[in-house]
Structures are given as structure tokens and as C-alpha cells.
Amino acid sequence: MLPADTVADRIAGTLTCAAFDHRLGGVLLLDLRPDLLDGLAAGLAGAVGGPARVVTLGADDTDDTLWVSTGSGFAPAAGRLRESPDETLIVVVPDLSRAGLAVTRAATVLIGADGAVADRHGTHAAWRPRARWLAACPAAAAQRLSPHLLDRFPVRVAAAGFGTPPRTSAQIRAALDQDTPGLPPGLAVPSPLTGPLPVMSAAAATAVTGVVGESPSPHRRDLALARAARVVAVSDRAGTVEPRHVHRAAELLGLRSPAPASLAPATVEPASSPEPTSSPEPATTGDGTAAWPEAVEADTAVGQPLRPALTSVLPPAAGPAAVPEQMLYPEDSPDALPDFASLRPPWQRAGTRRPGRGPVIGTEPAGRPVDIAYLATVLEAAKFRRIRHGAAAPLRIHASDLRSNRRQPQPDAALVLLLDHTSRRGWDVTAALAPYLGWAYTRRAAVSLIELGHRDAVSELQAERRRLSGVLDPALNVALDRAPARATPLAHGLDLALQEMRLRRRNLPIRDGEAWLVVVSDGRGNVPLEASQRDVLPRSVSRAGVDDAVTVAGGFAGLRAVRAVVLAPPELSHYRDLPFALAGAMAGIVARPDGAP
Amino acid sequence: MSVLPYSRIVAQNHLKQALEIAYVSPAVGGVLATGRRGTAKSTTVRAFSRMVSGDLPVTLPLGATEDRVVGGWNVDRLLQGESTWMPGLIEEAGGGDSTGVLYVDEINLLEDHLVNILLDAAATGILTVQRDGVSRSNVPVRFNLAGTMNPEEGGLRPQLLDRFGLVVWVDSAASASERAEILTTVLEFERLSAGPPEELRAAYAADEEHHRRLDAARSRVPGIVIPEKAATMAAAIAVEFGLDGHRGELAMLRAARAIAAIAGDGEVDAGHLTEAAPLALVHRRGTSESGTLRRWSAEDDAIVARATSAAG
């Protein structure tokens, strides 16, 4: 039976399940180290037991790369997601929260679908989706994703602690010599699993619904768990899926699994040696295709012993694996704030359009040869080829054929709002913020929120940065309702704000004078910058927290055309000069409510 | 392509009924299934299409370009110097003599300009193409829109909602036993699919029988009588709900006639109308401009009962 004792076990187990059965659904690894994903994809490709093609999708993929592309002679060719029966497609999304709109929409319509069609640019293609989708995402960002998209990834693994970097000199040397991405240390190579599909027992089906429990949309998770249990049963060479397989699958998938009665010692099967994996007869995979199991390699690239997937040397489900505390299904939380309609094409918004910047949302006739959409241009020229030059003439592109990418307009104004919640005790800051929020709304500005000193913070010594979809983002209202905590990592918050402002100015066409930094604070930082960066409580603070904040704030003075304002609370009984020191360092101003002393 | 047999789909009775009504009486218009994620909306539509046509429906995918929707040049041929027109998906679904089905999965995620094209063609039954130097006027197209959507991603505009003859709310199975039955059915079918083809064919046997029954009902539809009293009841229901235009009561009457045909009855009565009303009117009574659908409630049932008894 597939082990599920560690994170590595769970990852290897889910990869084995995904390799065996394409219907399992997408696998989402939360908080996985980004450099490990390629290795996992390679492992998954090896586990499917046949030719496999790995494609990595990201923020720059568009409909024109995913569905229909250009081949030799500019002829339309299969896009990156097009599948053929003779190879398995492994789709890798390194960061689902940053994937482009075309990628997230494709995942929504392809994963778990019975059929797929592509109809673009005069071509039609249909195929049966059998791709395995492997994605990673920071857990904090997952709750902002569309629940509809997350539903396509019913298999989740909390992978934050996975893949400790090599420490011994031998391991480091081995890693240096490694040319291709290998499996992370501690992960067994999943072997291609084969065998007939066992029958689901009624007790197992009941166990599935019991483990998944109440959920707004339970069916896809029911099916994912049931299919994973079926793979566990195959690995156990069982003819029927039993509740113990369901509970082991639940541990693999990180679902909370109650200790089942059937796991009592009396029912535990003795450890048995399975049949050798090198059976001379082809067996059937979960997809109904014939495949021969491959011999298990002796060692991984870094010398870790392998755990063959077909062995059953461990007693079945000797105890539930440690249930991860992390919430694997953040979309179920009542606190989840997914971006509204994030799978829909963007609405029109004000702002400047610059060639070559912003997500591609279509094509249009080109006024000048900039940011050319090559496929659309060639197709346009092809329509007139015969009438212009005759059938035998080579394809020639005229100026009138040129098509450029139509891009979503990007904001040309930015607001970075820093909220120091410890300075807001009893002070409703909404009125003071109103002019700046109103400006950001009318200018359709890019809005970033830096928060510090509140009780919901993951670490009280650190500030948090979040990019909002605009001032109407519900997250802003949530932020304005937070309760203050005791620590004030103001220096860290300003450091984040400084980085954020630099990023905004670098990545967006921000106009001069159209970038505002609004700091809501009394300037009384009590956490030195180094303590925040290391996330360790300082032994003594003294003025270090204040001094660091002023020092960091000095960085804003060097940012051209950024306007800075400190909104200080009405009551400044102590250290009245601090907000002014902060604003002075930033070359900004202090604004206080009317009538403040 | 193996899709779960229609006869093996657990629950989803309202959606199944709507699809069968639209098949038995195509004039009723298309079907929109709206519901949360993972409620087998797409599976049910595809399984139904496989049952009645032997194949998956003509599908308009997300990311489709305009030339594939209305038609355009065959690009492969163009690059070889030949100009060959390639019919679009609308024509593929509704260009023949019979009324076809054009299926749009995640229809609320479709680009607005494509929705507008669909809307025009569905409303007028005429496709007009003026693009790329080609002029094709008054191409007759008869197709029923079948759409599925998850309202968590936003609604449909009321104009497009009104184009659907019937709208169905699809909910998750409520009980654990029903959920267990669903997953047992799905996994058993997957096991059959990986086995010998004759076992798979046997799984579809019940579909063929059901298809025959529906075809028989379809042939009976023209003979179903709509008595004066039923028409009066439909009008009274429309008045009670304050419907604009006549599309609502017409869809309701056509759906009621199809229900009577499926049930083997000779004429439409109050029971058939009561059954048809939620499907035909849920999206036509008091839907806000945002397109957010209001669910059919017990109060709506009471309105229907009041109107039918007053008119009867």
C-alpha cells in the first residue's frame, strides 16, 4: 500500500495516483519551493509509463499559444495543450496565482472534461483530455483564486516543509553535477503502476463521503478520493476497494481521516511480498492502455533509497499520518475573498495603452509595426495570397496585413497604502483616507496595501503586502476593520512599501506625480528592521524601531515624482514629532484631522 | 468517446427533464443549466447528446475566434493558395434541415462579442456573414443553445437569459447515500470502459431504449391538444408574474405539451403547466439587470397554483 507518513510520501503517492488515472483531477502543491516543481513533473512523466511531454504554462501564455499555434511555413499547428493519443501531456503551472487568464480558463474547461475542442483561426481540433495537471501556489494566494478554478484541483498537498536543501558536501557536489532537474531529496521515484481496476465496495463509497464530509460542492472531491483509493487498492493488488484504502488515500490527499474501525490489529494484513513487478505480460493502466512496469532503479540521483510503489511491506494504514494544520481548501473558508469573476475576460478600463505591455486580449489592425501579432498577420496575408500574387507565389505580407496585439490597458497611477493598525486605536481613519481612495478610484489606480500591527498577522514582527484589484476590493474593507496588536514593525512596513513603489514604477506606465504613498501611522515603530527580517524577537528595542523607520523612509525621497503623505492620528500625546520626522525623511507632508491638537 | 450513459446519471431530474423537453419539442428553445461547480452539468448534457445523436454536441469552446463561430476561410487551404469557405460552429450545429444543439460550456465566461453573435443568430434564425471579403446573407440556422455555467463566476445578461427556453438550477446531491451512489456509478463505468467493448455496449442498452421512447414522444407532439382552458391558465400565470412579451407563456405551453407527450397524455392540463412553469419562467420573472437569477420558491409555486385554479 502506498505510504503516507511524510510530506514526501504524500507527494510521491499523489503523483503515483495522478500517473495511474488521468481522471483524478489536478494536483495542487501549496507552498512548494519553486525549484522543485520541474523535478516533480519529471517524476510524474516517468511514472505514467510511456512517452510523455511536459509543458510549463505561465503568465505569458495566451489563447494563441495554448490552442492553436504556428508551425513550419506559418501554417496553423497544434497549440501547447493539444494532446495526441501516443503521448501523455504533463501540464505544469509553477504559480497558479500568477498564471495568465488564458491558462486558468483552459484549466477550468479541460481538467475533468470528457472532451476538448479548439476552434481558432480557421482550424478545428477535438481530442479527449488525458493530461495531468501539476500546479503550485502560495497558500496565502490560493484563497484569492476562483473557487471554480480551485475545484479543478481537488488533490492538494501542503508542501511547505518539503525539499530541505542538501547539506552534506557529497549532496552539494551531486546537486552541482546534476544537469537536468531531478527528484527532490527524500522523494522516491514513483513507479508506473499497472493492474486491473478494482470494484468499489459499498462500504468504501460510504467511507469516501464520510471523509470528505459536508462541503458546498463535494462531488469532485468525492470522486478524487475514490479514484485515489482505487489506485491505493491497485498498489495493494486488491480486487476490491475497501475502507482502509479510502483512509490511506485520504491521508495521501491530506484530508482529515478518522481512525477507522477496520484498522484494528485483528484486520491488519501481514506484510507480504508482492509479485515481481517485471511481469512478462502487459497489464492495464487506469486509462485502459497496456503498459509494462519498469524495473525500479536502485538509487535516486542523490543516493536516497527508493520505495517501490508496488510493495506492501508496511502494515496497511498503521495510523493516520499527521494531519496538516494548514487549510487545504481555502475556498471553503467563510473568510475567503476570491477575486470577483477572475475567469472572465477583463472589462474595459481607463488608462493608457502602450505597445508591448499588459496582457494580450486580442488582435487589431496595426497602425505601425510594433508589438506585431505574427499568427494573425500571417493569416491575414494568406487570405489575399492568391488574388495578389497567384497560387504558386510565396506568401508575402503587405502593410495592410499587419496585425498587432490588443492589450489590456494598464493603470498609469499607483497608490501604496500603509496601514499601521497600532496607531488607529479608536480612530476611524476612513474619513482621512477618503480623498486618496477617491482619487485612486477615479484614476483606476493600481492599489497596494501594506499592513502591520494587527492581530490576524501571521507574524506580529512583520508587515504584509497585498496587491488589490482596486479600491473596491473587499480586502480593503477587511483591513480597515482589523483589531490592533502590540508590535509595530513600521520599518519593515516602510521597506515593503518602498519595494512595492519601485516595482510599480518599473512595471507600470506610471505618470509623473501620479504615484501616492499614504502612510497611516503615528511613527512609533517598536520593532527594528533586522528583527522583522529575521522574524526573531529583539532583546532590546530602545529607539531602534523608530530610527530604522526614519532611515527606510529616506528611500522615498529619492523616488522621483512619488508624493508621500503621513496621516497621523488626532491624539498625539507622546512623541508628537515622530510623524513629522517620518514625513520629513520621505520629503512628504503630514495630514491630521481638522481640530486635532 | 466514452461518456457516462445517460440512463446511469444519478439524480439531476430537473436537468434531465429540461433536456428531454427541448429534444421532444425543439421549438421550446435552448436549455441553460446553472449551478455550482462539480454538479455534473456538463456530463449530463454530453451524455444526453450522446444518447440522442450518438456523438458529443457541437461545442463552442472558450477561446474560440469569431471566424470559427460564424465561418471563415480554411487556413490550411489558403496557405496552399486555395480559397475554401469553412462553415462556423453555428452553421455546423444548425445549418441542416433539423434543429441542432450548440453547446457552450461555461457560457458566462464567453467573450461578450461572441455572445452577441450567438444572440443574433439564435433570435433571428438567420446567419449573416460579412467579413474577409465574403458576403453570405440569410443563411438559415436553427439551433438550440445548450449552456452550462457556474454563477459564482458572474451571471448572464438578461437578454441572453431570455434566449434560453428553459433554465434549470442544478444542485449538489444532498444526502451521503446519494453521493455514494454517484461515485459508485462513475467508478463502475470507468471500470467497464477499461474492459471488453461488449460490456461497454451493454451499459448503453438502456440509453437506446430511452431514446426510442423520446422519439416516440416527439412524434406525438403535433397531436397533443392544447385546450382553451390551458391557454387561459398560461396567460393567467404570465399575468401573475408580470412577464414582458409572450415568450414566457409560449415556452411554458410548448414545454407542457412536451411533458404531456412524454407522459403519454392526449392533452395539456394544469399539472403539465405546473411542471413546466419553473423551467420556463425562473429566468423571466423579476430577474435583475445584473442577470443574477432568483431561485424558484414555494411562493412562486403558490402563484402558479392560484393562477391555474382561478383560470380553471
DSSP string, chain B: -----GGG--S-HHHHHHHHHHHH-GGG-EEEEEE-TTSSHHHHHHHHHHHHHSSPPEE--TT--HHHHHEEE-HHHHHTT---EEE-HHHHHHSSSS-EEEEEETGGGS-HHHHHHHHHHHHHSEEEEEETTEEEEEEE--EEEEEEE-GGG----HHHHHHEEEEEEE----SHHHHHHHHHHHHHHHHHHTS-HHHHHHHTHHHHHHHHHHHHHHHHGGG-B--HHHHHHHHHHHHHHT-SSSHHHHHHHHHHHHHHHHHT-SB--HHHHHHHHHHHHTTTSS--TT-PPPPP-HHHHHHHHHHHHHH-
Q: How far apart are CA B74 and CA B80, in angstroms?
A: 10
* Predicted local distance difference test score (pLDDT) of residue A505: 82
Return the bridge partners of A116, or none: A127
pLDDT band per the 50, 70, 90 thresholds, residue B225: very high
- R_g of chain A, CA atoms, integer Å: 28
Q: Which residues contact A164 (CB under 8 A, 6 or more apart)?
A: A185, A186
* Predicted local distance difference test score (pLDDT) of residue A558: 78
Question: Could you report the per-residue pLDDT of A138-166, keeping only the tens digit for each?
Answer: 888 888 888 889 999 999 998 887 876 65
Count the neighbouring beta carbons within 10 Å of the beta carbon of residue B39. 25
pLDDT band per the 50, 70, 90 thresholds, residue A269: very low
* Predicted local distance difference test score (pLDDT) of residue A347: 55
Q: What single letter denotes the amino acid at residue A460?
A: E
Let me know: does A498 contact A529? Beta carbons within 8 Å. no
Find the mean pLDDT for residues A439-466: 91
Mean pLDDT value across chain B: 86
* Predicted local distance difference test score (pLDDT) of residue A597: 59
| Whether the predicted pLDDT of A213 surpasses 60 | yes
Q: Contacts of residue A115 in chain B, CB cutoff 8 Å?
A: 1, 3, 46, 56, 59
Chain A nearest-CA distance from B216, in A, is 29
Percent of chain B with pLDDT over 90: 40
* Predicted local distance difference test score (pLDDT) of residue A61: 84
Let me know: does A64 contact A373? Beta carbons within 8 Å. yes
Report which of A206, A213, A226 is spatially closest to residue B187, judged by C-alpha positions: A226
- Maximum distance among all Cα pairs of chain A, rounded to whole angstroms: 89
| Whether the predicted pLDDT of A320 surpasses 50 | no
pLDDT band per the 50, 70, 90 thresholds, residue A29: very high
Cβ–Cβ of A122/B40 closer than 8 Å?
no
Report which of A545, A544, A542 is spatially closest to residue A493, judged by C-alpha positions: A545
| Whether the predicted pLDDT of A131 surpasses 90 | yes
pLDDT band per the 50, 70, 90 thresholds, residue A231: very high
Cβ–Cβ of A202/B180 closer than 8 Å?
yes
Let me know: does A337 contact A468? Beta carbons within 8 Å. no
| Whether the predicted pLDDT of B251 surpasses 60 | yes
> Which residues numbered 22-61 in A keep a CB inside 8 Å of some CB on B?
23
Nearest residue of chain A to residue B189 (CA atoms): A199
User: Any CB–CB contact under 8 A between A379 and chain B?
Assistant: yes
Percent of chain A with pLDDT over 70: 79
Helix (H, G, I), strand (E, B) or coil at A519: strand
| Whether the predicted pLDDT of A88 surpasses 80 | yes
DSSP for A557-577, written as a single string: HTSTTEEEEEE--S---S-TT
| Whether the predicted pLDDT of A352 surpasses 90 | no
| Whether the predicted pLDDT of A259 surpasses 60 | no
Distances, alpha carbon A320 to alpha carbons A166, A212, A266, A316, A392, in Å: 29, 15, 17, 10, 71
All cell numbers assigned to A331: 475556498
* Predicted local distance difference test score (pLDDT) of residue A167: 65
Q: How far apart are CA B187 and CA B250, in angstroms?
A: 41
Q: How far apart are CA A517 and CA A502, in angstroms?
A: 11
Q: How far apart are CA A222 and CA A250, in angstroms?
A: 10
ipTM: 0.79
Let me know: does A579 contact A521? Beta carbons within 8 Å. yes
> Which residues numbered 298-357 in A keep a CB inside 8 Å of some CB on B?
340-345
Catalytic hit among B136, B163, B247, B284: B247
Q: How far is CA A97 from its chain centroid?
A: 4
DSSP 8-state assignment for residue A479 = H
* Predicted local distance difference test score (pLDDT) of residue B257: 96
Mean pLDDT value across chain A: 79
Q: How far is CA A366 from its chain centroid?
A: 35
Q: Contacts of residue A117 in chain B, CB cutoff 8 Å?
A: 59, 61
pLDDT band per the 50, 70, 90 thresholds, residue B227: very high
pLDDT band per the 50, 70, 90 thresholds, residue A184: low
Find the mean pLDDT for residues B42-60: 90
Question: Could you report the per-residue pLDDT of A372-391, keeping only the tens digit for each?
Answer: 888 888 888 888 877 777 76
Percent of chain B with pLDDT over 70: 96
DSSP 8-state assignment for residue A410 = B
* Residues B165-182 as b or e (16 or more Cβ within 10 Å = b): bbbbbbebbeebeebbbb
| Whether the predicted pLDDT of A53 surpasses 70 | yes
Angle between helices A202-212 and A219-235 (to 10 degrees): 130
pLDDT band per the 50, 70, 90 thresholds, residue B1: low
Question: Could you report the per-residue pLDDT of A513-523, keeping only the tens digit for each?
Answer: 889 999 999 99
* Predicted local distance difference test score (pLDDT) of residue A240: 93
All cell numbers assigned to A504: 510599480
Question: Could you report the per-residue pLDDT of B201-223, keeping only the tens digit for each?
Answer: 888 999 999 999 999 999 999 99
C-alpha dihedral over A256, B36, A158, A230, to 10 degrees?
60
Report which of A143, A468, A498, A493 is spatially closest to residue A328, judged by C-alpha positions: A143
Question: Could you report the per-residue pLDDT of B102-137, keeping only the tens digit for each?
Answer: 999 888 888 777 877 887 787 778 898 887 778 888
Greatest mean pLDDT among A229-233, A264-268, A286-290: A229-233
Instruction: Count CA atoms closer than 13 A to B76's CA, side-chain side.
Output: 7
pLDDT band per the 50, 70, 90 thresholds, residue A265: very low
Count the neighbouring beta carbons within 10 Å of the beta carbon of residue A216. 14
Closest partner residue to B187 (CB to CB) among A221, A226, A390 is: A226
Distances, alpha carbon A70 to alpha carbons A57, A307, A371, A397, A406, in Å: 17, 43, 17, 16, 19
C-alpha dihedral over B173, B176, B182, B183, to 10 degrees?
130
Return the bridge partners of A484, or none: A454
Residue of A22, A69, A379, A396 to mutate, testing the B interface (most B Cβ within 10 Å of its Cβ): A379
> Which residues numbered 83-122 in B keep a CB inside 8 Å of some CB on A?
83, 86, 89, 105-106, 108-109, 111-112
Let me know: does A464 contact A489? Beta carbons within 8 Å. no
Question: Could you report the per-residue pLDDT of A396-432, keeping only the tens digit for each?
Answer: 888 888 988 888 778 889 999 999 999 988 888 898 9
* Predicted local distance difference test score (pLDDT) of residue A475: 87
| Whether the predicted pLDDT of A191 surpasses 80 | no
pLDDT band per the 50, 70, 90 thresholds, residue B18: very high
Domains, in order of start, for chain A: 1-188+312-329 (3.40.50.300), 192-269 (1.10.8), 361-407 (no CATH), 414-591 (3.40.50.410)
